Structure 1
């Protein structure tokens, strides 16, 4: 099973928070190492060579700062520095192919050339080959809601819900947090609670109370409902929907666009947001987690 956690670092407060979040996750994944990546998007080759050299020097200094932070947080663990000049989207998606997780600081814009502005955040979520976690500012206090996972109970149970639940279970178990599966519906659906329970019940049986899994049906449009849930959560987990290919990136990853709800939550959620693809491997035995 892949153990490496890749973190994008550009020297901003948000990217330092991303390293801290990833380091804490590494500590509960006993064999996990970390890759700290600084994507150097320097000047065009036609520009003065001295300017390019200075850009590279500054990028290297930012990377060294991120590596030192990771080493302080994870003494004795392997920390791999990566300094790359190129398109941040393609570089990070490429690194995701051999990673257990890709962690990004919300609104990291300097060295990552606006990674989480506009369509680039959707690109990372759609093309990464591993779960993507977007981390904002540090929480002011411990959240009461633990891990929450958005489930569309109106859809037939499938790989999207299973992958999102599997990831949520893994993180909640590692952090000893409760897990809540949330179904947001625009109108009253008497079958909603039962449909959600049918999706969650197999995971309750596998987990045997570790973690405890609750269900919640919220009668509100998905975006405001899940944004409200995020205010009490430590982590909000979303599945990347779409069974068919919607185009491939330069690394051949299958694109699964988030849609307006997922993109809105990346911008608005007050807790870290994880986006999990249905292609993420699901083990047969939950005891492996």
Structure 2
């Protein structure tokens, strides 16, 4: 397998931000960066139009990846950058080439300029169908956004990375997802914050005093379960500081709110194959639409 960080490129500001993030990630991993520009052929009558002729299509399809690769190479010396142009439906092509990649990075528009992602149909289809980890990066994402504040109170690429945030379901913790999060924290030499959300008991079935005692006992049990689930991983990665958080409430809301202080958010997606097509999963889907940091969706069995 050709080990590389792969990024989907279409010339938009979203894909350019994704390419910059992917170049930084490739450097952290010590892997080459591969840019994939996919051109979906237009219908023949449109292709004959003066502005969409064959020569124009070829010009832009070759210019976008070439110029992007040249720019990335100059800004990220030491990273081996190559570019390839492929024809076909972007969703299908990216899923196909991602089979040989360690990581696929895609760009997305931000929602209202405040937070979250506007995940297009191609992005959703690729995330739902590929078994390689997929990272979604918002337009405008900067290297400094992943770092802590400097003495002047401004995010700076010269300061340490913000923690990596892992949303973990302790009912069925998956080694693939946990390992990915620990490794990303180790590469960044930063802490890993692990967040588990659980549902509190309904108020109406307990008296007030009983409810408080049941709630507190359940909170202690959930916190202990999280600690137990992470104990072997702490031993495997002793250099990674682990910050545990077990809270009652919606998993998606908790992860999205905590993403403001994260350099990267990691969530899992169970691989489901059905006649109704692939699905991202409700928590991952909600996190993608509301998190403000880059989000890695890691597929698992």
Bucket of the pairwise TM-score, normalised by the shorter protein: 0.7 to 0.9
Deviation of the 1:197 alpha carbon: 1.4
Number of residue-to-residue matches in the alignment: 260
2:267 paired residue number: 238
Contact 1:43 1:52 in 2 (8 A): no
Deviation of the 1:76 alpha carbon: 4.5
2:287 paired residue number: 265
Secondary structure of the residue aligned to 1:28 is helix
Contact 2:23 2:76 in 1 (8 A): yes
Can you give the 5+ residue segments of structure 1 that lack an aligned partner in the other structure?
Answer: 109-114, 250-254, 280-289
In terms of Rg, which structure is larger? 2
Task: Return the TM-score normalized by structure 1.
Answer: 0.81
Deviation of the 1:43 alpha carbon: 1.0
Secondary structure of the residue aligned to 2:100 is coil
1:204 paired residue number: 234
1:42 paired residue number: 41
2:185 paired residue number: 172
Relative distance call for 1:199 and 1:22 in structure 2 (3 A) is same
Deviation of the 1:46 alpha carbon: 4.4
Measured in 1, the distance between the counterparts of 2:229 and 2:95 equals: 30
Secondary structure of the residue aligned to 2:244 is strand
Relative distance call for 1:247 and 1:119 in structure 2 (3 A) is farther
Relative distance call for 1:26 and 1:247 in structure 2 (3 A) is farther
2:125 paired residue number: 123
1:96 paired residue number: 98
Relative distance call for 1:259 and 1:156 in structure 2 (3 A) is closer
- The range that moved more, 270-279 or 144-153, is 144-153
2:151 paired residue number: none
Secondary structure of the residue aligned to 2:11 is coil
Relative distance call for 1:47 and 1:75 in structure 2 (3 A) is same
Measured in 1, the distance between the counterparts of 2:2 and 2:231 equals: 27
Secondary structure of the residue aligned to 1:148 is strand
Measured in 2, the distance between the counterparts of 1:135 and 1:201 equals: 31
List aligned pairs for 1:57-76, cutoff 5 A.
57-76=59-78
Relative distance call for 1:247 and 1:76 in structure 2 (3 A) is farther
Residue 195 in structure 1 maps to residue 225 in structure 2: yes
1:223 paired residue number: 252
2:141 to 134, 138, 142: 138
Secondary structure of the residue aligned to 1:56 is helix
Contact 1:152 1:184 in 2 (8 A): yes
Secondary structure of the residue aligned to 1:227 is helix
Relative distance call for 1:26 and 1:91 in structure 2 (3 A) is same
1:148 to 147, 165, 175: 165
Secondary structure of the residue aligned to 1:202 is helix
Secondary structure of the residue aligned to 1:204 is helix
Deviation of the 1:183 alpha carbon: 0.5
Contact 1:40 1:56 in 2 (8 A): no
- Answer 1 or 2: which has greater helix percent: 2
2:196 to 174, 178, 183: 183
Contact 2:119 2:288 in 1 (8 A): no
String of CA shifts for 1:190-217, please: whole Å, max 9, x gaps: 3211121121111001112x21122111
